[in-house]
Chains A and B, each alone.
Chain A
Amino acid sequence: MSQSGPLKTRKRERKVEDPKSRHKRHEAMEAVKALDSIRFGFSENPKEMEYFYDLFERVYCSGETLHTDKPTIGTLCIQAPYEIIYALGGVPVRLCNGFHTDEQSGGDFMPAKSCSLVKATLGMLNQHNIPTVDRLDFIVHPTTCDQKTKSISTIEDMGYSVYHMEFPRHKESEESREYWRRSVRSFAKELSVKIGRKLTRKSMKEAIKKVARAQLAYHRLSELMKNDPVPILGKDIFLVTNAFFFDDIERWTNRVHALCDELQKRVDEGYNAASKRSPRILYTGSPPIFPNLKLPLMIEQADGVVVADESCSANRLFNDMVSVDEWFLYDMVDAVADRYLKGCTCPIFTRNEDRKRRLADLAKRYSIDGVVYQSFAGCQVYEMEQRSIQRELEKIGIPMLYVETDYSPGQGGQLSTRIEAFIESLKVRKRRVDHKKRGAV
Chain B
Amino acid sequence: MSRLKKFIDRADIRRFRFWVQLSAFILFVYGGYLSIDLGREMPVFICGYDQEAAGMCYFMPLQHQLARDWERLFSAAGLGVLSAFAIFLLWFIIFNKAWCGYICPLGTMQDWITLLRKKIGVAYSNYTQSQYSSLKKIKYIFLAIVIIFPLLMGAGLFGGEWRAAFCKMCPGRLITPMFVGDFSQWSIDFSSNTAIFLTAFGIAFTILFIVGSFVKKRFFCFYCPMSAMHYIFSPFSILRLKKEGDKCTKCGDCYRVCDMQIFDIADDVVSKNILRDDCILCLKCIAACPEEDALHLDIVNMALFRSTKDGFAKRMGVDKERE
Contacts and interface: CB of A to CB of B under 8 A. Distances in A.
A253 B249 CA distance: 23
A354 B266 CA distance: 12
A319 B253 CA distance: 12
B266 A212 contact: no
Contacts of B248: 357
Interface string B246-259: 11111111111100
Contact of B309 (A216, A322, A338): A216
A254 interface: yes
Interface string A317-353: 0011111111010110011001100110000000001
Nearest to A360: B246
Interface stretch (B141-149, B163-171, B310-318): B310-318
A323 B288 contact: yes
Interface in A240-286: 250, 253-254, 257
Nearest to B316: A212
A283 B318 CA distance: 29
Contacts of A342: 250-252, 266
B272 to A, nearest CB: 14
B110 to A, nearest CB: 14
Interface in B235-264: 245-257, 263
Contacts of B319: 216
Given A257-B321, A338-B251, A339-B251, A325 B269 contact: no
B290 A338 contact: no
B123 interface: yes
Given A213-B323, A321-B316, A357-B245, A343 B251 contact: yes
Nearest to A205: B317
Contacts of A326: 118, 123-124
A216 B318 contact: yes
B253 A219 contact: no
B129 interface: yes
Given A212-B318, A213-B318, A335 B253 contact: yes
Nearest to B290: A321
Nearest to A217: B321
Contacts of B249: 319-320, 343, 354, 358
B288 A219 contact: no
Contact of A325 (B251, B284, B321): B284
Most chain B CB within 10 A, of A323, A325, A330, A358, is at: A323
Contact of B316 (A174, A209, A330): A209
Contact of B269 (A174, A331, A357): A357
B192 interface: no
B246 A323 contact: no
Contact of B252 (A212, A253, A343): A343
A134 interface: no
Interface string A389-415: 000000000000000000000000000
Contacts of A324: 256-257
Given A331-B256, A343-B252, A364 B246 contact: yes
A320 B251 CA distance: 6
Contacts of B245: 357
Given A357-B269, A360-B246, A322 B318 contact: no
B322 interface: yes
A257 B318 CA distance: 13
Contact of A174 (B128, B253, B254, B284): B128
Contacts of A334: 256
Given A321-B312, A343-B249, A357-B246, A254 B288 contact: no
Contacts of A353: 269
Contacts of B318: 209, 212-213, 216
A319 B289 CA distance: 12
Contacts of B123: 326, 328, 330-331
A83 to B, nearest CB: 13
Nearest to A223: B309
A361 interface: yes
A338 B256 contact: yes
Contacts of A212: 313, 316, 318
Nearest to A343: B251
Interface in B111-133: 118, 121, 123-124, 128-130
Contacts of A331: 123-124, 256
A257 B322 contact: yes
Nearest to A322: B253
A353 B130 CA distance: 24
Nearest to A250: B323
B24 to A, nearest CB: 22
A325 B309 contact: no
Most chain A CB within 10 A, of B249, B266, B267, is at: B249
Interface in A23-72: none
Interface string B217-244: 0000000000000000000000000000
Contacts of A339: 251-252
Contact of A254 (B129, B255, B267, B322): B322
6 contacts: A172-B267, A209-B317, A253-B323, A257-B321, A320-B251, A328-B123
Closest 9 CB pairs of A and B: A320-B251, A323-B253, A343-B251, A323-B288, A325-B257, A321-B290, A338-B252, A174-B129, A361-B246
Interface of A: 172, 174, 177-178, 209, 212-213, 216, 219, 250, 253-254, 257, 319-326, 328, 330-331, 334-335, 338-339, 342-343, 353-354, 357-358, 360-361, 364
